Amino acid sequence: MGMLAIQKDVRTTFSCEKDLMNAVDQFAANNEMDRSKVIRLAIKKFLNVSPIEKRSAKK
């Protein structure tokens, strides 16, 4: 049998406006989630909706 790959979480730090973090915390509380889950969901949604486009170098 093949082995399952286990992905390890990566811990990161970022800065944002206090009001934005308060909104994240409020959403988390209202939806019985922790802050990390809300941020993960937001990033996944953003990446699915807004794919990264290649930009040509400006001359």
Residue 57 has a pLDDT of: 60
CA distance 56 to 36: 34
CA distance 21 to 57: 34
Give the orientation angle of helix 18-30 with respect to helix 35-49, to 10 degrees. 100
Domain segments of the chain as ranges = 18-49
CA distance 51 to 18: 27
What would the pLDDT profile of 5-49 be if each residue is shown by its tens digit? Answer: 788 889 999 999 999 999 999 999 999 999 999 999 999 999 887
In terms of DSSP H, where are the helices of 2-56? 18-30, 35-49
* 4 — pLDDT class (breaks 50, 70, 90): confident
